Structure 1
């Protein structure tokens, strides 16, 4: 039996579980998927090292073995050893979340440091090639192949395959929330197959949201041993005292089940959660969110450098879009609007104009046709949007000028959605926490449905980003933004 913190649909702490606990037999698909990842990493590393070694070694064939062969073999061996030591192949982190890529990055960084120290010790003149070319190339290739494998796994899960059978145990309300989330996000890999409640009944008698209620909470361990569930998800209920949870953990020993417990802090996850043992008592320690410091400085530097590179890369496209906007309708190329940034400071956001001139003044006439959520005004078929504007909005091309806002430091590449001043004025104390960080060109809201999201869900995602921000999470969001933009989901 494996015990751990909250995982799966509740939060992103799944990758933070202790790997020593992963000892129970895995499903066949889990074993196959892990073998596929390991094999792909080994093949990718070997191909990159061989390609670089052959290309540069061919110029000095006489000294191939001395100069290139040993370094090539040593680099490959070092990378694979770092992946093993960093537990980058642990089943708990494969297939979802940012932790998989965080461990992969940490492994490659470790390999780089060890290789550099080895080069200094051996006074090798050829070590720079492997540090600055080989390992970055290995990183790009391995991250790409892992992402492709993850896409395949998520596709299988959407079709009902490669899912872990779960027995949920708690109050009907909290179990209902869990069932809703697992159905909404099948890529997380959970399928609730049975439920236990305090009295053994659900709102529909012997069913809860179509899932059979198989018994009472006191009978939980017996059902697990008899039916072989892979996950026991314990959700909040007055029944769960510390003594009963401990006895449940003992009673599950000898089974193949992973026991996961939902903490009260539902939206705090990722690197801020730590499990410590103090005086023999397991405590869930929540560190403060980081709004300053070295990581934030790195983020600011990456934002400005990334914005500058993207502006150079997209310069021809932006020139074409600007010309199209001018030829399509009267008005300027850019649309300027006041938005609220970090700490409530207002700034002027830049966009390509997608509406006819005087569109803002006509908004009052369309108030009764508002389809937006909460404080947002949105219309799927807004008559003010131009023909070119429709295309630009669908693929988010109208937002490219915001790279200038990122370059000047008013925005970040990743962050909460930048609100209008009237929206910000209506914020309560909780929602105002969105203003603790810079707004972003993209964010969790962008990759989760954009305008299709309910207002409450958009706020929840923004607050989750503020609380649980990390460089790895930014990387995942940027990666997923490209797919969201291509599909155009929720854009209007």
Structure 2
């Protein structure tokens, strides 16, 4: 919190110097804004242990708190006619917010480094049946980062061995829980699934752990619903969980489209020289056009031409049938790590995702969005089963959760799960984080072939 307060004070002080504030009233106003800003960071719980280090909620709360400060200051500025406060709104607050976001990102990088050393914000024991425990281990291993470190496992049924595959100690019997908590140094218990005895067992467990001040974390069965869509409303001691319906239109989609237009237009202008150089390299490397156009399926099943820099030989589509027997992918996807159709230049274009750059034009045209589900081929859509077609409820993206979570290393089921999660739970803040993660993946590619 000290670092947050320092940034806020320095931002307000810098504007005070800029406007050469000498009046005691102006200095008092700037001091009041700084104190309000610090207070709102606390009230908005921007450093909540449940939010810090992982996900976009921490950044979103920073932005929300700053927006409230800006709105309050704007009302005061209009009411008093104080032009110096307007300068603080349009210069000091945006600059301070940018510095706060960079500071939080820097702390997050430090926390992730500590996580790789085996340290985390919370040491947890996972409780439940073996299958539920295995699922939680897999998910936390991929996504928890510095938030949780699993120090022990506890199942109701007898354990197969004393340790799991990754060396985590495994215990049997819920009656041992209070004994192993201090031994393992745990501060939280994750209940991975339903316990024998139902809700009564869960209530009894939480009461037993009160003495050791151990937090109880319950894994929800709503595994693909994001937190902002869930709210709890107690009615006479009965906690009712409300799940908001996903929205596929409305104001936030207008904001998303506006962001697509502005950022794609700027990107096309900035990347024009690079695209020219890449075009020359492709022409020199192999025969054929620079741009490869392919039919893809967009929102509500509408087809469009998706553009890419050509990274394969001209007759790649005809060669595909011959290579089907070597397919390394699962489900409806074709994957081949050492695909003979890829050209020399195409290999490193694909490695760093540079072949995707022309899709920025698709974004500007409105066929795609900067962030969204993977754009599918018509033959894939024709074989969709169950709820997979929900991927088409919003525009496909130039990047997405699939792009920053392993790309070609993902199997079909995991790719579909990520796309469906995004479709129902996306947010502008989340999109900005995915764009940032995409930039990092392009510099350090994983699963790109």
Q: Indicate the SS of the match to 2:9.
A: helix
Q: Find the counterpart in structure 2 of residue 121 from structure 1.
A: 79
Q: Find the counterpart in structure 1 of residue 5 from structure 2.
A: 42
Q: CA deviation at 1:152?
A: 1.4
Contact kept, 8 Å, 1:229 with 1:256, in 2: the verdict is no
1:480 paired to 2:437:
yes
Contact kept, 8 Å, 1:172 with 1:203, in 2: the verdict is no
Q: CA deviation at 1:454?
A: 1.7
Q: Which has the higher contact order (CA 8 A, sep 6+)?
A: 1
Contact kept, 8 Å, 1:197 with 1:216, in 2: the verdict is yes
Q: 1:192, 1:240 → 2: CA distance?
A: 25
Q: Find the counterpart in structure 1 of residue 16 from structure 2.
A: 53
Change (3 A) 1:323 1:196: same
Moved more, 176-185 or 332-341: 176-185
Q: 1:91, 1:296 → 2: CA distance?
A: 30
1:444 paired to 2:407:
no
1:90 paired to 2:53:
no
Q: CA deviation at 1:228?
A: 4.8
Q: Indicate the SS of the match to 1:92.
A: coil
Q: CA deviation at 1:68?
A: 5.9
Q: 1:112, 1:163 → 2: CA distance?
A: 32
Q: CA deviation at 1:354?
A: 1.2
Change (3 A) 1:329 1:69: farther
Aligned partner (choices 362, 367, 370) of residue 324 of structure 2: 367
Deviations 1:322-348 (A, max 9, x none): 232223222212110000111111111
Q: 2:224, 2:174 → 1: CA distance?
A: 25
Q: 1:75, 1:238 → 2: CA distance?
A: 50
Deviations 1:24-74 (A, max 9, x none): xxxxxxxxxxxxxx22222222333333433x33xxx5x644686445434
Aligned partner (choices 413, 417, 422) of residue 460 of structure 1: 417
Could you state the TM-score of these two structures normalised by the residue count of structure 1?
0.86
Q: 1:337, 1:125 → 2: CA distance?
A: 54
| Unpaired stretches in structure 2, ≥5 consecutive residues | none
Aligned partner (choices 99, 106, 115) of residue 57 of structure 2: 99
Q: Find the counterpart in structure 1 of residue 131 from structure 2.
A: 173
Q: 1:333, 1:40 → 2: CA distance?
A: 50
1:278 paired to 2:235:
yes
Contact kept, 8 Å, 2:120 with 2:148, in 1: the verdict is no
Q: CA deviation at 1:185?
A: 4.0
Could you state the TM-score of these two structures normalised by the residue count of structure 2?
0.94
Moved more, 100-109 or 305-314: 305-314
Q: 1:484, 1:138 → 2: CA distance?
A: 28
Matches within 5 A, 1:236-247: 236-247=193-204
Q: 1:40, 1:163 → 2: CA distance?
A: 19
Q: CA deviation at 1:432?
A: 1.2
Q: CA deviation at 1:99?
A: 0.9
Q: Find the counterpart in structure 1 of residue 309 from structure 2.
A: 352
Q: 2:400, 2:123 → 1: CA distance?
A: 31
Q: 1:436, 1:220 → 2: CA distance?
A: 45
Q: CA deviation at 1:417?
A: 0.4
